[in-house]
A and B are shown apart, each in its own frame.
Chain A
Amino acid sequence: MIPKHFRPKNYRRTLTGIAAGILIIAVTLYLALPILAIFLRVTPEMFFTSLHNPDVSSALWLSLFTTCITLIVVILVGTPFAYYHCRFSYPGKVIVDTLIDLPLVLPPAVAGVGLLVLYGRVGLLGKYFNMLGIPIAFTTLAVIMAQVFVASPFYLRQAKSLFEQLDPAYEQTAQTLGASSLRTLTLVTIPMTASGLVSGAVMTFGRALGEFGATIMFAGNLPGVTQTMPLAVYVGMESNVNIGLTISIMLVIISFTIMIAVRLIQNREANRA
């Protein structure tokens, strides 16, 4: 007689369980080990010594400054844009929809080339700005423009989807009660979608902070002016590995914080629902 747990049905279920377990462990290790390796490679002394390096601190502050400006620009322009884009039909709306998503699939270096060809010193628009004494390429402004270009879709897509899902009855009620469009937007629409918008903003912040390809093409790699943290990692790995690793650790910590923030916001939203 065959023991109960060796019967074909149970045997197959056990095999499936083992295969699933191996797959989950393999994927988890593949994603976690490179991050872990960075932490294992640097001692606390090396980390804190490198942290005081002027190149590290200037890259850190430049990254935080440009990313914060990027976030403010994306929220201030992106929120009303996404709102009106959802609420109104207009010719070419499908094309605009595609353009919003384009930076997500476009290689960042290509985005940088595009920005350079348009706003560079001899670019299509850049030459006129240059004539007015407003250089754009290879300045801190270029860093912000590159970050806005590659990171804004994260916020725009989220905002668009939230505004589309919101029951129009709320806005219509606000209007019948005498609220203007602006009042309706600020007191009804945005508060009712706030958690999702914050989640989109956090993802935008993370993407902007990690931006490399478009920045190096359009803004260059000038310490203190355009050298953000990802660029400093690149330079550090060629000249001083400790600096590259220290900045990498800082970026990992910031990324983790962002992910935890998004999770907390999503959990809070789920509990509220």
Chain B
Amino acid sequence: MVKRLRDYTLDLAIRVKPGEVMVLMGTNGSGKSTTLNILAGLLAADTATITLNGQCLCQTNDDFDVPVEDRRIGYVLQNSAVFPHLSVRDNVAFGLRARHLPRAIITERVARWMDRMHIADLAEFKAGNLSGGQKQRVALARALAIEPGLLMLDEPFTALDADSTQTVKDLTRRFVKKMQIPCIVVTHRVADSTEIGDRACVICQGRKEWEGLPSEMPEMCTVCHCA
């Protein structure tokens, strides 16, 4: 994908395998969130080819672009963005209702995901009243309940305490492996990449600077000093 930004041009090629967690790292403003927004369809790239499980989502050369609501990408944005006026149950059901699934399937799937994310006892609570860790689990349940083809998390551990961070990491890894879906996690902390990632990709000023196993990441990225 290529997109001309204010200070630099984002020019990136990434590939994530099913069941793999790829950690996208970089300093603030390096293009991490922009990359996720382009993949989700929230932002248009100047040039891009995006393929998910063999299905083309975007091919700018052919002027082909699947709308954001039809991409089936589970995206947990920064600050989790749970809908504060809705209950936990309604938050998890939101994507399923938007897809007009039968009521029985919605009920069953919402109950299953609330159970898996350990938020079943919070079902009737307004999401706005939850703690940061609980909100993040609601957001994760909501994103996974639509059975996405790709899961993306943008800085999911910011503002979480150590216990909540570990819980979200464990849950994310477990269900990405179980559902065999590709997953991209944006973070700027090295510790996160080694604990959650199968592979890490360091970007700086919109360009890939390093890619490999998180455990093999250089102690200090010489170009962007982010790692």
Contact = CB atoms under 8 A, between A and B. Distances in A.
A167 B143 CA distance: 19
B107 interface: no
B79 A172 contact: no
Given A169-B81, A191-B85, A192-B84, A176 B70 contact: no
B99 A178 contact: yes
B113 interface: no
A173 B77 contact: yes
Contacts of B79: 167, 169
Q: Which among B40, B94, B146 has the greatest number of chain A C-beta atoms within 10 A?
A: B94
Contact of A170 (B70, B83, B95): B83
Contacts of A194: 85
Nearest to B99: A178
Contacts of B73: 176
A49 B207 CA distance: 82
Interface in B93-121: 94-95, 98-99
Q: Which among A167, A173, A188, A194 has the greatest number of chain B C-beta atoms within 10 A?
A: A173
Nearest to A180: B69
B77 A178 contact: no
Given A176-B74, A178-B69, A183 B81 contact: no
Contacts of B77: 169, 172-173
Interface of chain A, main secondary structure: helix
B142 A177 contact: yes
Contact of A183 (B37, B72, B98): B98
Nearest to A188: B83
Interface string B121-144: 000000010000000000100110
Interface string A156-190: 00000000000101101111111110010001100
A173 B81 contact: yes
Interface string B43-74: 00000000000000000000000001111111
B28 interface: no
A178 B70 contact: yes
Nearest to A171: B81
25 contacts: A170-B81, A170-B83, A172-B81, A173-B75, A173-B77, A173-B83, A173-B139, A174-B98, A175-B42, A175-B69, A176-B42, A176-B69, A176-B71, A177-B94, A177-B143, A178-B69, A178-B72, A178-B98, A178-B146, A179-B95, A180-B98, A183-B98, A187-B94, A188-B83, A272-B128
Among all A-B residue pairs, the 3 with the closest Cβ atoms: A177-B95, A178-B98, A169-B81
Interface of B: 37, 40-42, 68-75, 77-79, 81, 83-85, 94-95, 98-99, 128, 139, 142-143, 146
